[in-house]
Amino acid sequence: LKGVVFKQAGLKPEDVNVMGVSPQVAVQSLVAKRVDAAFLFEPQASIAKLIAPVKQIYEVGEVWPFPCMVVITSGDTLKKRKDALWKSLDAQKEAIDMLQKKPGEAATYIAREFIAEPTLKTLKRGELSREAVITEAIKTQVFSPAVTPKAQARMREIAGIMQAQGGLKTRDGKPFDVDQLLDLSWQKARKL
């Protein structure tokens, strides 16, 4: 956020006060006018637009797409439990396929994780089922089980930004080597 969005807007870190809070607190703070803006991921952004008098003004993923969910493990786990890890990645791919091809069905499995009640009372559309809300949010996203060359380049860029901000340090002070950490053997074996 600081290394991309603020930079593109010509803002310095001291121009903006950033607080890390839960999505619910962020929306409540925005509605109560205690903050000027909130940075939310999906489906919280879609939920906020339905229940609160807020307007989306910027979509980071459209302007600066980045890989936001990856699977990580230790080198030991990768060596000792590769079969179990690969089964987990296969299951993750199946879930991604469902999100892409059957968002309504996928929503039935995850909606209660984001919306506790069976329906959501909205400002302008009446009551909507939580599954309908989550289905709409899913449809706004792009999912891929593969770490593409473009995603790898973005990871390198993010690492560079984090290093420049002091949030990522190497012992020798050299640039962080993202490629050294990536194991793409699963996706190569699956021809992704």
The owner of tokens 């910027």 is: 58
DSSP for residue 38 = -
Hey, what are 125's tokens?
A: 């559309």
What's the pLDDT score for residue 146?
Answer: 94
Domains of the chain: which residue ranges?
A: 2-145
106, burial (CB in 10 Å: exposed 0-12, middle 13-18, buried 19+): buried
What does the alpha-carbon distance between residue 157 and residue 175 come to, in Å, rounded to a whole number?
Answer: 11
What pairs with residue 120 in β-bridges? 128
The CA-atom distances, in angstroms, between 59 and each of 15, 92, 178 are 21, 25, 26
All residues at 6 or more sequence positions from 90 whose CB lies less than 8 Å from its CB, including other chains: 190
Please report which helix (H) or strand (E) contains residue 8, including its range: helix 7-8
The reported pTM is: 0.85
Q: Please tell me what DSSP assigns to residue 11.
A: -
Tens of each residue's pLDDT in the chain, 192 residues: 777 888 888 998 889 888 999 998 998 999 899 999 999 999 999 999 999 999 998 888 787 787 777 788 988 998 999 999 999 999 999 999 999 999 999 999 999 999 999 999 999 999 999 999 999 999 999 999 999 999 999 999 999 999 998 999 999 989 899 999 899 999 999 999
Q: What is the DSSP letter of 142?
A: -
Q: Check the CA dihedral 140-72-7-65 and report its sign.
A: negative
For residue 127, list its beta bridge partners.
Answer: 121
What interhelical angle do 44-51 and 130-139 show, nearest 10?
A: 120
> Do the Cβ atoms of 71 and 146 come closer than 8 Å?
no
DSSP string, 95-134: HHHHHHH-HHHHHHHHHHHH-SSSEEE-SSS-EEEHHHHH
